[in-house]
Amino acid sequence: MQRTTTRSPQQVAADLDRLIDEAVPGRRGLGAWRALLEAHATLMRRLQTDLVSKTGLDLNNFDVLSQLAQAGGALRMTDLASRAFSSRSGLTRRIDGLVEEGLVRRTTADGDARSVVVTLTDAGAARLAQTVPVHLRTVAELFVAPLDDQELAVLESALRKVILDSAFG
């Protein structure tokens, strides 16, 4: 039987520090990475909470409706899956819910019964028209207002350099 020893919180923290130092000498960029993760997490939580409380629409559903509108009102499910922030596995259930609410319609593509097309309905377009101003006011308040124009430009430029792929899993 193997004997286990309990490590103190200080030992655990010291081990983590050692691993970080070995993996990223000088810890270059880790502060920026952590700030990006914290900013994303806190902003997304606040945007979700605000949108649901003010409009009743979930942020991920808003994203799907927005993606459809930006594409002219309809997308093949595979194209929508590569654009939307939802995981591919969760997107089918999300679309099911939006169909049930009458905000989108699901049909088969002309000439290809295996391909599904998701289309924004008039009700979906109306719901989007109600939620866009609410959402963007919150984006402006939480993200744009605290930054000056130069900071926004630098942030956009820097983040564009690390965008790898817009297809989410």
- The CATH number assigned to the domain holding 64 equals 1.10.10.10
Question: What's the rounded Cα separation, in Å, for the pair 154 and 145?
Answer: 15
Residue 20 within any structural domain of the chain: no
Residue 18 within any structural domain of the chain: no
Enclosing domain of residue 126: 30-161
Number of domains present in the structure of the chain = 1
* Residue 37, H or E segment: helix 30-55
Q: How confident is the model at residue 165 (pLDDT cuts 50, 70, 90)?
A: low
Residue 53 within any structural domain of the chain: yes
In a 13 Å sphere around the CA of 65, the CA atoms on its Cβ side amount to 26
**pLDDT > 90 fraction of the chain, expressed in percent and rounded:** 79
Residue 9 within any structural domain of the chain: no
Q: How confident is the model at residue 60 (pLDDT cuts 50, 70, 90)?
A: very high
Is residue 2 predicted with pLDDT exceeding 80? no
Is residue 167 predicted with pLDDT exceeding 70? no
What average pLDDT does range 126-140 have in this prediction?
Answer: 97
Residue 71 within any structural domain of the chain: yes
What average pLDDT does range 19-33 have in this prediction?
Answer: 93
- Say which amino acid occupies 23: A
DSSP state for residue 4 in the 8-state scheme? -
Stated pTM of the model = 0.83
pLDDT of residue 1: 59
Q: How confident is the model at residue 169 (pLDDT cuts 50, 70, 90)?
A: very low
Q: Tokens standing for 118?
A: 């998701």
**pLDDT > 70 fraction of the chain, expressed in percent and rounded:** 93
Q: How confident is the model at residue 69 (pLDDT cuts 50, 70, 90)?
A: very high
| Residue 65, phi then psi, degrees to nearest 5 | -60, -40
